[in-house]
């Protein structure tokens, strides 16, 4: 520890007695990690703990609030709005992730075929990924516009419906509209991941199966698909987390309306905590979903760190 | 692979149709935004809608840029995103290096915490982080937004840089250590220069994340001095009447910087995305 006065180890007297006079590796490691640790402690860990404890108080935005036990949770669980938001979140997540998985696989297989200008075609197919979420939400709000929206016109013109569809204000349709927009926005991530994964699937197995007489569809399901299992698992889990928490699509498209029918848990939390300034109740909404995330994140870190720890 | 001529033909037809559908699905909404932005307002609301502007106009762009605070919001977004990118690239590299290279107690735990933080969605954090920023007097400031964005960009950058650093041979570090270089010097002079392309991609991701973020911007910034374009647009949308032409022109302006990044770095982005989320 004598080297402590010589920060870099290079400003030593002209003739160094020992060539290496550095701080021990473990100490340097901690110094390197310090800034990230400070950010983590102050802006992630502390707020998380604070958020959980706020859920057990009647805290409002402007005032401190007192401990009120589980009464926020009692309020929530007897509130039909919370039940509906949970169900909406669940259906929207499961529905869109399933559609994105199937379409993503299909698009990835298509885009992996030999074709002219494949790079350009891929870039264009991935385009929605590059569109900021806010802009994606706005675009779809314009497309779904009930008077001048292009979709209204197309549907009536193509005879798919004989009366106007209230894409965003009909409670039975609005969630479906949100889902369409979310699939549009989230699909490229699936396609990109699967395109990358398909490129790394060794082709000799596939060729062997072809020689054995397996058709193209058979080969996909019994040779290619099993090799994508790992990528599919990670992609689905990541997308589940992101989709479950995507806020802007619902916020911009419907604002949770009509009459709270399209709220999902994040927009409901926002409504309680920020719009109505009931921080305690808003935190309770979030705390009630934490267990789901703990499980998902645990499973994902397990997978993502596998190689690192090997 | 031997394939019958007819099978091959069918396969080509199916592929072509599929690719056309895929391209239509991904491009049509973007096209519609762009086309709308160049139409006069009478044409925008006309039925039937026109596929191409009858009278091409830049009025919506003029309105967006000079008759609304939108340009100000774009500049705010840019400043915040640049701040976030610089801090998270530096902190990310500093954090990733020991995890990729050094031996210390708690290395595995640290790696695990980073992935966890990366996966932690902003919607879990936005309420309590509001209170923290309030205590620090950082609500409604660009600094406050930068701080808030660091909560996801730092773990993300760290996580991706660990994989980039892992591709650099350990022997280089060891040789430099033998020569008496300190760990800080090795990171700066040996590892970073080699990892430069990877770091560029990571920085682009951080920039994009910060540029696109909405929830924190909505909750933590409300004055024109701090609002980013995402929050600014939300403010315009929540009214009862939408000026669609101007909104679409604003959208195009906000997409352009990201699109340029995307076109230039598309190949690396796809690779980076795959490398960052799947290890093993």
pLDDT tens digits for A202-230? 888 888 888 888 888 888 888 889 989 98
What pLDDT does B86 receive? 97
Q: If you average pLDDT over residues B175-187, what whole number do you get?
A: 90
What pLDDT does B274 receive? 67
Interface check for B85 against chain A (CB to CB < 8 A): the answer is no
Q: If you average pLDDT over residues B247-262, what whole number do you get?
A: 91
Q: Chain-wide mean pLDDT for chain A?
A: 88
Judging by beta carbons within 10 Å of its beta carbon (0-12, 13-18, 19+), is residue A5 exposed, middle or buried?
exposed
Interface test with chain A among B107, B127, B211, B254, by most A beta carbons within 10 Å:
B127
Query: In whole angstroms, what separates CA B154 from the centre of its chain?
Result: 13
What pLDDT does A280 receive? 92
Pairwise CB contact (< 8 Å): B127 & A286? yes
Interface check for B42 against chain A (CB to CB < 8 A): the answer is no
Q: How far apart are CA A188 and CA A128, in angstroms?
A: 7
For residue B255, give the nearest of A9, A125, A131 by CB distance.
A131
Q: If you average pLDDT over residues A247-252, what whole number do you get?
A: 94
Question: Integer distance in angstroms from the first to the last C-alpha of chain A?
Answer: 33
Q: How far apart are CA B15 and CA A309, in angstroms?
A: 41
Least confident of A285-299, B193-207, B266-280: B266-280
A112 Cβ partners below 8 Å, 6+ apart? A195, A198, A199
Q: How far apart are CA A272 and CA B214, in angstroms?
A: 18
Residue A262 CB neighbours (<10 A): 26
pTM of the model: 0.89
> Per-residue pLDDT for A119 more than 90?
no
> Per-residue pLDDT for B2 more than 70?
no
**Distance set, CA A128 to CA A135, A195, B16 (Å):** 10, 16, 20
> Per-residue confidence at B243, pLDDT binned at 50, 70, 90?
confident
Q: If you average pLDDT over residues A156-182, what whole number do you get?
A: 92
What is the three-state SS of B178-231? HCCCCHHHHHHHHHHHHHHHHHHHHHHHHHHHHHHCCHHHHHHCCCCCCCCHHH
Residues 147 through 206 of chain B touching chain A, CB cutoff 8 Å: 147-148, 150-151, 154, 158, 162, 177, 180, 182-185, 187
What pLDDT does A10 receive? 55
For residue A153, give the nearest of B48, B128, B158 by CB distance.
B48
A256-265, B146-155, B185-194, B255-264: which is most confident: B146-155
Q: Report the largest interatomic distance among the alpha carbons of chain B, rounded to a whole angstrom.
A: 75
Q: How far apart are CA B63 and CA B69, in angstroms?
A: 10
> Per-residue confidence at A137, pLDDT binned at 50, 70, 90?
very high
**Distance set, CA B278 to CA A47, A106, A234, A305, B271 (Å):** 29, 20, 7, 9, 11
**Nearest-by-CA chain A residue for B42:** A148
A247 contacts on B by Cβ (under 8 Å): 122-123, 214-215
Pairwise CB contact (< 8 Å): B27 & A127? yes
What pLDDT does A207 receive? 83
Q: Which of B150, B238, B151 is nearest to A275 (CA)?
A: B238
B136-145 per-position pLDDT tens digit: 999 999 999 9
- DSSP class of residue A67? B
Pairwise CB contact (< 8 Å): A134 & B279? no
Interface test with chain B among A10, A122, A138, A232, by most B beta carbons within 10 Å:
A138
What pLDDT does A109 receive? 94
Buried-exposed string B64-88: b where 16+ CB fall within 10 A, e elsewhere: bbeebebbebbebbbebbbbbbebb
**Nearest-by-CA chain A residue for B251:** A135
Residues 216 through 255 of chain B touching chain A, CB cutoff 8 Å: 218-219, 229-230, 233-234, 237-238, 242, 244, 247-248, 251, 254-255
> Per-residue pLDDT for A16 more than 80?
no
> Per-residue confidence at A12, pLDDT binned at 50, 70, 90?
low
What pLDDT does B99 receive? 94
Q: If you average pLDDT over residues A242-246, what whole number do you get?
A: 91
Joined tokens for residue B268: 């690396």
> Per-residue confidence at A310, pLDDT binned at 50, 70, 90?
very low
B234 contacts on A by Cβ (under 8 Å): 134, 248, 251-252
Pairwise CB contact (< 8 Å): A273 & B177? no
The Cα of A292 is separated from the nearest Cα of chain B by a number of Å equal to 12
A227 Cβ partners below 8 Å, 6+ apart? A197, A201, A205
Cα torsion at A196, A200, A203, A204 (round to 10°)?
-170
DSSP per-residue letters across A161-210: -SS---TTTSHHHHHHHHHHHHHHHHHHHHHHHHHHHHHTS-HHHHHHHH
The Cα of A104 is separated from the nearest Cα of chain B by a number of Å equal to 10
**Distance set, CA A49 to CA A42, A290, B127, B228 (Å):** 11, 12, 12, 28
Interface check for B10 against chain A (CB to CB < 8 A): the answer is no
Q: How far apart are CA B72 and CA B232, in angstroms?
A: 9
Provide φ and ψ at A57, rounded to 5°: -130, 170
Least confident of A18-32, A124-138, A178-192, B200-214: A18-32
What pLDDT does B239 receive? 64
Q: At what angle do helices A279-304 and A80-111 cross, to 10 degrees?
A: 30
SS3 content of chain A, % helix, strand, coil (to 5): 70, 0, 30
A47-70 per-position pLDDT tens digit: 999 999 999 999 888 777 889 889
> Per-residue pLDDT for A299 more than 80?
yes
Q: How far apart are CA A108 and CA B105, in angstroms?
A: 42
Q: How much of chain A exceeds pLDDT 90, in percent?
A: 57
> Per-residue confidence at B261, pLDDT binned at 50, 70, 90?
confident
**Distance set, CA B148 to CA A47, A85, A162, B128, B219 (Å):** 11, 26, 49, 11, 11
**Nearest-by-CA chain A residue for B130:** A47
A8 Cβ partners below 8 Å, 6+ apart? B182, B184, B185
Pairwise CB contact (< 8 Å): B91 & A111? no
The Cα of A39 is separated from the nearest Cα of chain B by a number of Å equal to 7
> Per-residue confidence at B89, pLDDT binned at 50, 70, 90?
very high
B22 contacts on A by Cβ (under 8 Å): 107, 110-111, 125
For residue A140, give the nearest of B29, B110, B124 by CB distance.
B29
- With residue B24 as reference, give the H or E element that holds it: helix B5-37
Cα angle, residue A144 at apex, residues A139 and A149 outer, rounded to 5°: 90
For residue B36, give the nearest of A40, A142, A193 by CB distance.
A142
- DSSP class of residue A141? H
Judging by beta carbons within 10 Å of its beta carbon (0-12, 13-18, 19+), is residue A248 exposed, middle or buried?
buried
CB–CB of A171/A165 below 8 Å?
no
Joined tokens for residue A303: 């997978």
The count of CB pairs under 8 A between chains A and B is 310
Pairwise CB contact (< 8 Å): A113 & B15? yes
Pairwise CB contact (< 8 Å): B104 & A30? yes
């Amino acid at each position: 520890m004598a080297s402590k006065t010589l920060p870099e180890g290079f400003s030593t007297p002209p003739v160094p007695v020992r060539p290496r006079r550095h701080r021990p590796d473990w100490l340097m490691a901690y110094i390197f990690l310090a800034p990230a640790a400070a950010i983590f402690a102050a802006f992630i860990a502390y707020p998380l703990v604070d958020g959980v404890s706020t859920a057990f108080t009647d805290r409002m935005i402007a005032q401190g609030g007192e401990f009120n036990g589980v009464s926020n949770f009692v309020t929530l669980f007897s509130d039909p709005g919370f039940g509906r938001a949970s169900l909406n979140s669940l259906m929207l997540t499961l529905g869109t992730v399933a559609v994105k998985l199937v379409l993503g696989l299909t698009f990835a297989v298509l885009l992996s075929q030999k074709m002219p200008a494949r790079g350009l075609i891929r870039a264009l197919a991935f385009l929605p990924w590059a569109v900021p979420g806010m802009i994606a939400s706005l675009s779809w709000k314009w497309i779904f516009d009930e008077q001048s929206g292009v979709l209204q016109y197309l549907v009536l013109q193509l005879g798919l419906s004989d009366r106007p569809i209230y894409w965003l204000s009909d409670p039975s349709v609005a969630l479906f509209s949100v889902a369409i927009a979310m699939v549009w926005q989230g699909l490229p991530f699936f396609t990109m991941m699967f395109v990358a994964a398909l490129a790394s699937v060794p082709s000799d197995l596939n060729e062997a199966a072809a020689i054995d007489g397996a058709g193209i569809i058979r080969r996909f399901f019994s040779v290619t698909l099993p090799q994508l299992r790992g990528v599919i698992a990670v992609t689905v889990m990541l997308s589940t987390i992101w989709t479950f928490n995507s806020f802007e699509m619902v916020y911009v498209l419907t604002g949770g309306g009509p009459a709270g029918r399209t709220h999902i848990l994040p927009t409901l939390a926002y409504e309680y905590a920020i719009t109505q300034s009931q921080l305690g109740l808003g935190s309770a909404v979030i705390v009630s979903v934490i267990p789901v995330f703990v499980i998902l994140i645990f499973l994902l870190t397990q997978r993502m760190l596998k190689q690192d720890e090997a | 692979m031997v394939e019958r001529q007819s099978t091959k033909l069918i396969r080509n037809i199916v592929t072509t149709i599929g690719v056309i559908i895929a391209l239509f699905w991904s491009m049509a909404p973007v096209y519609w935004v762009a086309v709308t932005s160049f139409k006069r307002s009478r044409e925008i609301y006309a039925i039937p809608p026109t596929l191409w502007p009858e009278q091409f106009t830049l009025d919506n762009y003029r309105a967006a840029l000079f008759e609304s605070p939108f340009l100000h919001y774009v500049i705010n977004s840019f400043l915040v995103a640049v701040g976030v990118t610089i801090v998270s690239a530096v902190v990310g590299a500093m954090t990733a290096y020991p995890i990729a290279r050094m031996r210390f107690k708690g290395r595995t735990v640290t790696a695990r915490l980073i992935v966890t933080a990366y996966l932690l969605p902003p919607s879990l954090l936005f309420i309590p982080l509001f209170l923290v920023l309030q205590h620090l007097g950082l609500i409604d400031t660009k600094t406050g937004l930068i701080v808030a964005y660091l909560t996801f960009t730092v773990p993300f950058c760290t996580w991706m840089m660990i994989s980039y650093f892992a591709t650099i041979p350990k022997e280089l570090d060891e040789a430099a250590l033998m020569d008496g270089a300190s760990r800080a010097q090795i990171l700066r002079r040996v590892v970073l220069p080699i990892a430069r392309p990877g770091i560029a991609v990571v920085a682009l991701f951080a920039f994009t994340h910060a540029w696109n973020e909405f929830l924190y911007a909505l909750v933590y910034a409300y004055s024109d001095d701090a609002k980013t374009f995402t929050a600014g647009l939300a403010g315009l949308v929540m009214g009862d009447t939408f000026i669609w032409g101007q909104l679409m022109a604003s959208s195009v302006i906000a997409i352009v910087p990201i699109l340029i990044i995307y076109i230039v770095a598309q190949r690396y982005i796809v690779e980076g995305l795959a490398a960052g989320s799947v290890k093993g």
